[in-house]
Structures are given as structure tokens and as C-alpha cells.
Amino acid sequence: MSSHEKRHVSARPFDLTLTAAPVAWGRGRWPNVDWIDGQMVWVGWEGKAIVHRIARQEPDGTLVVRGDATDDDIVWLDGVLGWSAEMPSFTDPVITDLSAKMPGLRPFANGSLFDGIIGSIVGQSISVAAAATTERRLAQLTTDGVELFGRRFFPSPRAEDLVQLSIAEIRSTGVTGRRAEAISAIAHRAMAGEFPAEGAPYSDDADLRRLLRALPLVGPWTAESAMLWGIGMPDIHPTGDVALLRAAKLAYERPEMTMKELDQLAIGWAPGRSWAARLLWTALLGPAPALEL
């Protein structure tokens, strides 16, 4: 495919180092994304082809996207970098203060609910680094990937890829036997048309939550995380998230805060609970490092 380079200007503040911070938190372990030399590198599917995009932000705020994908950049920008999303206002003074300090943050996501649910099952009860490593091993089972910036990237596995793997092969990535079985079962359901369609207008959080909770090994945290990280829904609270509790303890200066107290606190973040969580995580873990000129 031929390469392209396009420039995009947002009418509202946009900061790639804040938005793509979750990419950097993986420290080069995520299979399909990385933060390299002040740029976000992404690899994914376009039809049957593996394509890449590289995003960088210029000092004047212009976002430059180059790569070999031919699909519309705006669709990708909206799905992955939350380009058109607008941060809500908050009444909670702590979250209000964080939003004022990070006005350019947008909701980074996989751009796919299926990717979100598989990643959330992989990431159950393990660290970000461990989840990234495991996801990479899973992706390596399905394609040879592509070489960029001296490392190999692998697009997220599709349902049609995962159904070709045995439980033992999925288990070899380091996931438990139950998680391997759940990943395989969900892939088979998706191939049978029993998974929410990609690109559907997910306006009803409760309805989508019920659909996800009906899947094997999908509890509250997994369903919420899939909606938040898979498709960037704005008002999702990943109850039980240890990193979010750690971030809230620090931001609110309440070192004894419990998970139950965090859940109560999060009620006051609606209808932007996902945004509040992202602000807190980013305050704790930091933005992606800017390129030093």
C-alpha cells in the first residue's frame, strides 16, 4: 500500500502525550501499539491487510498522521484517539482540578469492542505490563506481524483468528485455563453472530453491559473495562480496579480509602465516570514522554 501523511487540527485542546499515555504505560510490550520517539505507532487491520499509522503532534498542536492505511483517518482518530469526544464538566472539585490541568486528554481506546473484551479477560487481576506481555504472546500466535522502528508489531487477533487456536495454544500465552476457554468461547460466539456488532451505536450502557455479562468469565470489572478501553464509552466505572483506587487515594489524599468508598465517590463523577478514571490514572502514571528537541 502507498503511504500517506495528513494533518489534522482540532477545534478543542488535544494533547497526544496525555491521550496516548496508556500506550506508553505498556513500555513497549503491547502487541499493536507503542510510543517511540514522541510518536504513537499503531498497527491494525484494514480488511484483510495489516496496516499501520504513526501519529505525532507538532508544537502548534497540529496532529500529523502518516502510514499505509487507506481508510479515513477521521474514523480511526475517533475510534482510537477520541478525536471528536468532548470532556464533560464535573462538580467534584478534585476531578475538576485534574480536568483543568489536562484539557487535552481524550479517550484512547482499542476502537473495537471485541478487542476490548479479549484484552479485559487477559488483564484480569494482573498488572498493565503483564497484560501487555500476554496480549503480545496471543497476537503472535495469529500473524507474523510487521517490522517498524526496529521492533515487530502484531495487530489484535480477530475472532476468525482465535477460533483457529486450540485451548492449549491460548493457554501457552500465560492465561489460566478458564481464561483460555473463555477467549475461545467468545471468539466462537462472535463468529456465530452472537457478539455485539462492531460499529453499532452503543448508546445504551445498561443493555450493552447485560450482553457482555452474559459472556463466559465476564464479571463487572471485565465488562466495564471492555466498554471503557474497547470503545471509549464516556460514563463507565471499572469497579474493583486496583490502579484506579491507588490513583484516587493519591488525588484525594485519602490513603485509607476502600474500594467501596471509591465506588461511592464515582457516583459523583457521572455522566463522565470514564473521563474521571482516565484523569486519575494519568495523574498517577503520567503522560507519554514528549520528544525532547
Rounded to an integer, what distance in angstroms lies between the CA atom of residue 100 and that of residue 187? 41
Helix, strand, coil shares of the chain, percent, nearest 5, are: 45, 15, 45
Backbone angles phi, psi at 46, to 5 degrees: -130, 95
DSSP 228: I
DSSP 51: E
Q: Is 60 exceeded by the pLDDT of residue 293?
A: no
The packing angle between helices 113-122 and 177-191, to 10°, is 170
Domains and CATH numbers, the chain: 4-86 (3.30.310.20), 113-231 (1.10.340.30)
Q: Is 80 exceeded by the pLDDT of residue 202?
A: no
Q: What mean pLDDT do residues 23-52 have?
A: 96
Could you read off the pLDDT of 211-262 as tens digits, one per residue?
999 999 999 999 999 999 999 999 999 999 999 999 999 999 999 999 999 9
Q: What is the pTM (predicted TM-score) of this model?
A: 0.94
Rounded to an integer, what distance in angstroms lies between the CA atom of residue 19 and that of residue 278? 9
Hey, how many other C-beta atoms are within 10 angstroms of the C-beta on 291? 12
4: confidence class by pLDDT, cuts 50, 70, 90: confident
Q: Is 70 exceeded by the pLDDT of residue 120?
A: yes
Are the CB atoms for 208 and 168 separated by under 8 Å? Answer: no
Hey, how many other C-beta atoms are within 10 angstroms of the C-beta on 253? 8
Q: Is 90 exceeded by the pLDDT of residue 195?
A: no
126: confidence class by pLDDT, cuts 50, 70, 90: confident
Return all residues near 215 (Cβ < 8 A) that are at least 6 apart. 117, 182, 185, 186, 189, 195
Check residue 197 and give its pLDDT.
76
Check residue 203 and give its pLDDT.
63
